[in-house]
Amino acid sequence: MKLRVIHWATAVALAVLVGTVVLPPAGAREKIVIRLGHVGFPDSLYELTAQEFSKRVARELGDRVEVRVFHSSQLGTDEDMIRGVRIGALEMFLPSTI
């Protein structure tokens, strides 16, 4: 069950990534850094999901894209992170409620 939730959450996160991150032209060499925040503790399902997403991005895209995970509300509350995504200051977050 836990693995199923992680796969589902990873799929949702990938869908959000596709919808919010615009990749540069093929000739661009600059590395893309995605900051992903959540309110969960280091051993929470939020963190496990975020770390799994980071691993899958690294596996699929290599060194072109890096996902940096920030747990325990390091980037603010859900409201702060929503605001950050809206204004472009934050690339992704996992909300505490769906």
**Domains of the chain by residue range:** 2-94
Q: Residue-wise pLDDT tens for the chain (98 aa)?
A: 666 666 666 655 665 555 555 555 656 679 999 999 999 999 999 999 999 999 999 999 999 999 999 999 999 999 999 999 999 999 999 999 86
CA 27/CA 50 separation, integer angstroms:
29
Structure confidence at residue 97 (pLDDT)? 86
CA 28/CA 71 separation, integer angstroms:
30
Token output for 14? 């990938």
Structure confidence at residue 93 (pLDDT)? 96
Token output for 41? 């503790």
Structure confidence at residue 65 (pLDDT)? 96
